[in-house]
Amino acid sequence: MDNKLVFQLLQCTPEGLTQSEAEARIHKFGPNKLPEKKVNPILQFLSFMWNPLSWVMEAAALVAIVLSNGQGMPPDWQDFVGIVLLLLGNSCIGYYEERGAGKAVEALMAALAPQCTVKRDGNWVTMEAANLVPGDIISIGIGDVIPADSRMVVANNVKIDQAALTGESLPVGKEPGDEVFSGSTVKQGEAEAVVIGTGLNTFFGRAASLVAGANEGMGHLQQVLAKIGNFCICSIAIFLVAEIFVMYPGFRYRYRRGMNNLLVLLIGGIPIAMPTVLSVTLAIGAKQLAEHKAIVTRISAIEELAGVTILCSDKTGTLTLNELTIKTEAVRQYSEVSVDDILLFSAYASRVENQDAIDKSIVESLHDTSLARKGIDVLDFIPFNPVDKRTQVTYRRQSDNTVHRVSKGMSQIILELCTRDMTPEVEQKLHADVDEFAQRGLRALAVAEETVPSGDAEGEGTGFRLIGLLPIFDPPRHDTKETIERAIGLGVHVKMITGDQLAIAKETGRELGMGDTMYKASILNKPDELTGIANSVDELVLRADGFAGVYPEHKYEIVERLQNLGHMVAMTGDGVNDAPALAKANVGVAVADASDAARSAADIVLTEAGLSTIIEAFIHSRIIFQRMRNYAIYTCSVTIRIVTTFSILVFAFKFDFPPFLVLILAIINDGTMMTISTDRVKPSKSPNAWNLKEIFSYAIVYGCYLTLTTLIFFVVVDKTNFFQRHGCKAFTNHNDFSFHSVIYLQVSILSQGLIFVTRSQGFFFTERPSLFLMIAFVIAQFVATIITVYANWGFTEITGAGWHWAGAVWIWDIVWFIPLDFIKFGMAAIIERFAQASSPPAPGEPVSHDQVELARQRTRMSMEAAQNVTRISTIPSRGASYYAPNLHDTVTHRRNFGSRVKNLLTKSGKNLSMDNNELRRLQSTQAQAASRVLTGQH
C-alpha cells in the first residue's frame, strides 16, 4: 500500500489536519493511550487483609469465635470483635495513606506525559501524544519514542530501534513508505510520518490485550516482606506446637484453658501491621521524593536507590550547564577560509529548527542568525547521531549554482573524513590545538568542506578539506563540586561517563574534584593495553574516575562490569545514547529535559536540572529505607519476645495470660507504629541493603533480652517479697487477675520502648524522634498504665493493680531499657566484622580474582532474587505474591511499553516477534480500519 492510498483512506494530506478535524476524530477513535487499569477501591481496601500475616490473624478470629468454647463458657466474642476491628483499622489506615500519596505523585507525573510534535492547521505544535488521531502528521527525531503506529512520509537517514517487535538487535533503516510502530525509538535521523493507528489499534495496543492478565512478577521488597513474615509465622508455629504438647499431654490442661494460651501466641506474635506500615512508608516516601524534584516511576527503585554505591554520571547537562558558547576569538584556521566563513559554513551544517545545544550555539555565533540559510538551498541534511558523531549538509549556492558539502563533528571523526590537503603538519597542528583546548576545558568541533562538481546531492565530492576548529565552552554547574563532595561523604563514588575527549574529561574532573584517573573507553576492548595500568578490565573499571570517548555500548559494559563486581549502580543520562545503560543500571535516572527514550528507560525522572537533585534523592531514599529497616527489626523482635515470653511462662509456671490483653497490646502497638512512616531518622553514611540475617539476628537477641526482663520480673514478684516491701500489694498466686495487669504493663512499656533503640544509630537520646511517634508512644503507654491501675474486666481476667505496681513496673522497665543501646552497639560491631569480609571491592582498591568471582556469585544471587522471582522455590520466598497488592506502584510505570509487553508475552508463553511482511500487512489493515471508522462503516 503506497502513501497516496494511505492519505486517501485516512482523508488527509501531507499538510496534516486542522484542529477542528482532529477534535472530531478523537471522538471517533478515542485518545491515543491504553486504557488504564483502575484499581477497585474496595478490592484495594480488602487487599490489606489478604496476605499470610492477615490470614493468621483471621485464623485467630475463627479460633476465638468457633473453637474457644465449651466447659459452660460462651465463645470468646470479645477477642473476635477486637481482632476484626484491628484488621479493619489496619486496612483503613493503609488505604487512606496509600491513596493519598498515590494521587499526589500521579498529579506530578501528569507533567511528564509523553509529548510529540504534530502539524495542525499547517503549523508545527507540541502537544501530548494522547491527543494524536489517525491522519495527523508527526515529526520525529533522534531520541524520540514513536507515539503511534505511523507510515513514513519524509525520511532523512532514519534508523529505528524496533527490537521489541521483530527481535532485530540493530536499528533498522527506514525510508518513505515504511512503517514505524509505537514504542520503538528513533536512534538516528529525522522524519515526518502520518499516523495510522492509535491507542488499542496499535501493534502494542493489541499485544497488551493479549497479556492484560499476565503476572509481571514480584519485586524484591515483596520477597523481603514475605521472608520477614514467614520468619514470624515459623517462630509462632514452633512455639504453638510446643505449647500444644506441653499443655495437653503434659499438664493435662482443660480444652478452653489451653485454647486461650494458644490465642495469646496467635494474636500477639503476628505483626499484622507490617505490610501496611511498609507500603505506607514507601508511598509517603515517593511523595516526599517528588517534592524534592525526583519522580519515582517504579516504587521499588526507592530501596535500590538507597543501596547505590557507584553513580555513573553523564557530563553534558548533568555535571555541566549544557549552555554552550563558541569562543570566536579562539577559532583555529587550517586554510585560507576566514573565521567568519568557518562559522558560516558550520551554521550551514546546523539545524535552524529543533536545535540541539551545539547547533544553537553555532547559529547564535553569527551576527545575524538568518545567514544560516540565506543564499543557499539545502539539498540534503544528515543530523547528528551518537554513532557517526557528526552532521553533514549538502547545499546549492544560489549566487553561482554550485553544489558544496560541509561536515562538522568530533575532531577525530572529521580528521578521518578529510582526504584533501591533509598533511602530517596539518594533522599534528590539529592534535595540538585539540589538546590545548582540552587543557583549557574547551570542547573542539572540527569543520570540513568539499565541492560536488556533478551538482547532484548524492554525487561524489572533491574530497573533504579541514578548514577550522571551533572551541566550545560548557561551564560546570555552580553546585556540582559541592554535590560530588556530598556524594563521596555518603559513600557513593561518582564516575564521569562522557563522549567528550579524554583531555576535556580530565580537566573537568580536576575542576570538580572528581579526580583525573580517566581513560579512553576504547581500552575496555584492548586488554593488551592494560599493562602497567591495571591487572584486569574489571580492576580498571573500578579504579577509574571516568571514561571519555564513550559509545552507547561502552556505557552498557561499564555498568554491567560494576554490577558483576557486586556494586549497586545508578546511571544518569538525558539522550537516546544513554537509554541502554539507564535500563541496565539498578537505578536509571533521567535528568531534567531528558529525551523520551531516556525517560522511558529510567526508574526516576528528575524535574530539576543538576546533580544536586540526585544527591537529595539518595539521602531521602536512605531515610525511607532506614524507616523500613527499623520497623522490620522492631516487629521481628516483638514477635520473638511475645512467643518466647508467654510460652516459657506457661512451661515454667503454668501462667495463663488473657488473650484479650494481648489483643489490646497489638492494637495500641500497631497504631503507634503507623507513625514510623514519617519518623525523623538520620540517613546512613553508607549505602543500604536488606540483610535479613542481620535483621533476624538483632530480632532474636533483642527478643530474648526482653523475654529475660519479664521472666526475672515474674520470678522476683512470685518468689520474693521485694516489691511488697516497697508498698506494692501481694498477689494470691501467679494467676492472680491483678498480676495479669502488671505483666501486661511490663511487656507493653519495654516492647514499645524498643523502637527508640532500633530507630537510632547511636544512643537513643541523641536522635530526636518525630513528634507523631512521641505523642503516639505517650498516649499508648498512658492507656496501658490506666488499664493496669483501674481496669476491672472480669470477662478477660484482669483487675486493677494500683499506682504502686504501675510505678514499680515503670522503674523496672527503665532500668532494663538502658542496656539495650549497649546490646545494639555490640551486635553492630559483630555484624560489621562479618560484613567487611564479604563486602565488594571499593573503587581504587586492587581487585583479586577471588574477589571478582565472589562478587559475581553474590550479584547473580541478588539479581535472581530481585528479578527472576519465578526461579525462587525456597520456603522463605513463598507467599511473596500475596504482599503485592500492598506494595504496588503508586504511579503508572512509564518505562518503554514495548519492553514491558515483550516481557509479559515471554512469561505468558506467547510470541511477540513478527517479520516485516506481517508488520506491513498489519499497517494496511490498520489504515483500512481507520477508513471505515471515518466513513461510518464500522
Contact 274, 638 (CB under 8 A): no
Q: How many residues appear in the chain? A: 938
256: burial class by Cβ within 10 Å (0-12, 13-18, 19+)?
Answer: middle
Contact 491, 309 (CB under 8 A): yes
| Per-residue pLDDT tens over the stretch 446-497 | 999 999 998 888 889 999 999 999 998 887 888 888 888 888 888 899 999 9
The owner of cell 553555532 is 362
Percent of the chain with pLDDT over 90: 31
In whole angstroms, what is the distance from residue 83 CA to residue 301 CA?
A: 34
Percent of the chain with pLDDT over 70: 84
Contact 598, 582 (CB under 8 A): yes
| Per-residue pLDDT tens over the stretch 732-774 | 888 899 999 999 999 999 999 999 999 998 899 999 999 999 9
**Burial state string for 755-793 with b = 16 or more CB within 10 A and e = fewer than 16:** bbbbbbbeebeeeebbebbeebbeebbeebbebbbebeb
Average pLDDT in the 908-922 region? 53
Contact 189, 172 (CB under 8 A): no
Q: Out of 47-51, 209-213, 311-315, pick the least confident.
A: 209-213
State the pLDDT at residue 877.
Answer: 36
Average pLDDT in the 392-413 region? 92
The answer to whether residue 896 scores a pLDDT higher than 60 is no
At residue 121, what is the residue type? D
Element (H, E) at 166: helix 163-166
First and final CA of the chain: distance in angstroms? 21
Average pLDDT in the 15-26 region? 91
State the pLDDT at residue 33.
Answer: 80
Average pLDDT in the 784-811 region? 91
Nine-digit cell at 770? 518525630
Q: Which stretches of 445-551 are DSSP H helices?
A: 480-489, 502-512, 537-543
Catalytic residue positions, numbered? 314
The owner of cell 576569538 is 329
In whole angstroms, what is the distance from residue 842 CA to residue 838 CA?
A: 12
- Nearest Cα residue to 407 out of 348, 471, 492, 490: 348
As a whole number, the mean pLDDT across the chain is 81
pLDDT band, residue 697 (cuts 50/70/90)? very high
Contact 78, 262 (CB under 8 A): no
State the pLDDT at residue 499.
Answer: 81
State the pLDDT at residue 220.
Answer: 65
In whole angstroms, what is the distance from residue 305 CA to residue 283 CA?
A: 15
State the pLDDT at residue 685.
Answer: 86
Average pLDDT in the 562-590 region? 84
Residues ≥6 apart with Cβ < 8 Å to 850: none
In whole angstroms, what is the distance from residue 382 CA to residue 391 CA?
A: 6
Q: Out of 636-650, 680-694, 770-784, 838-852, pick the least confident.
A: 838-852
**Burial state string for 79-96 with b = 16 or more CB within 10 A and e = fewer than 16:** bbebbbebbebbbebbbe
Q: Out of 648-652, 867-871, 883-887, 924-928, pick the least confident.
A: 867-871
pLDDT band, residue 874 (cuts 50/70/90)? very low
> Residue 743: how many CA atoms within 13 Å on its side-chain side?
30
- Nearest Cα residue to 587 out of 858, 315, 857, 312: 312
At residue 184, what is the residue type? S
**Burial state string for 797-826 with b = 16 or more CB within 10 A and e = fewer than 16:** bbbbbbeebbebbeebbeebbeebbeebee
In whole angstroms, what is the distance from residue 603 CA to residue 216 CA?
A: 16
If you write DSSP's letter for every residue of 293-331 in order, what string do you get? Answer: TEEESSTTHHHHHHT--EEEEEIIIIIB----EE-GGG-
In whole angstroms, what is the distance from residue 103 CA to residue 885 CA?
A: 17
The answer to whether residue 879 scores a pLDDT higher than 70 is no
The answer to whether residue 367 scores a pLDDT higher than 90 is no
Contact 142, 171 (CB under 8 A): no
Average pLDDT in the 248-256 region? 87
The answer to whether residue 431 scores a pLDDT higher than 60 is yes
Judged by phi (left if over 0) then psi (alpha if -120 to 50, else beta), residue 204 lies in: alpha
- Give the per-residue SS3 of 203-272: HHHHHHHHCCCCCCCCCHHHHHHHHHHHHHHHHHHHHHHHHHHHHHHHCCCCHHHHHHHHHHHHHHHCCC
State the pLDDT at residue 470.
Answer: 93
Average pLDDT in the 628-656 region? 93
Contact 118, 9 (CB under 8 A): no
The answer to whether residue 895 scores a pLDDT higher than 50 is no
**Torsion sign over Cα 704, 707, 709, 713:** negative
pLDDT band, residue 402 (cuts 50/70/90)? very high
The answer to whether residue 788 scores a pLDDT higher than 50 is yes
Quote the longest CA-to-CA distance of the chain: 118
In whole angstroms, what is the distance from residue 539 CA to residue 240 CA?
A: 53
The answer to whether residue 880 scores a pLDDT higher than 60 is no
Element (H, E) at 60: helix 52-62
- Nearest Cα residue to 520 out of 430, 412, 416, 445: 412
In whole angstroms, what is the distance from residue 367 CA to residue 351 CA?
A: 17
Q: Out of 323-327, 371-375, 726-730, 820-824, pick the least confident.
A: 323-327
- Nearest Cα residue to 396 out of 380, 416, 412, 415: 380
State the pLDDT at residue 558.
Answer: 92
More confident site: 279 or 485: 485
State the pLDDT at residue 676.
Answer: 87
Element (H, E) at 362: helix 357-364
E-assigned strand segments in 44-184:
115-120, 123-128, 137-141, 149-161, 172-174, 179-180
The answer to whether residue 868 scores a pLDDT higher than 90 is no
Angle, CA 320 vertex, CA 159 and CA 143 arms, to 5°: 15
- Nearest Cα residue to 63 out of 53, 55, 71: 55
Which one of 203-207, 215-219, 774-778 scores highest in mean pLDDT? 774-778
State the pLDDT at residue 866.
Answer: 38
The owner of cell 529543533 is 354
- Nearest Cα residue to 597 out of 208, 35, 161, 170: 161
At residue 454, what is the residue type? S
Contact 634, 714 (CB under 8 A): no
State the pLDDT at residue 844.
Answer: 52
In whole angstroms, what is the distance from residue 438 CA to residue 731 CA?
A: 86
State the pLDDT at residue 717.
Answer: 93
At residue 828, what is the residue type? A
Collapsed DSSP state (helix, strand, coil) of residue 866: helix
Distance between alpha carbon 465 and the CA centroid of its chain, in Å?
A: 48
More confident site: 396 or 593: 396
The answer to whether residue 99 scores a pLDDT higher than 80 is no
Average pLDDT in the 218-235 region? 80
- Give the per-residue SS3 of 680-738: CCCCCCCCCCCCHHHHHHHHHHHHHHHHHHHHHHHHHHHHCCCCHHHCCCCCCCCCCHH
The answer to whether residue 543 scores a pLDDT higher than 50 is yes
Q: Out of 69-83, 191-205, 472-486, 836-850, pick the least confident.
A: 836-850
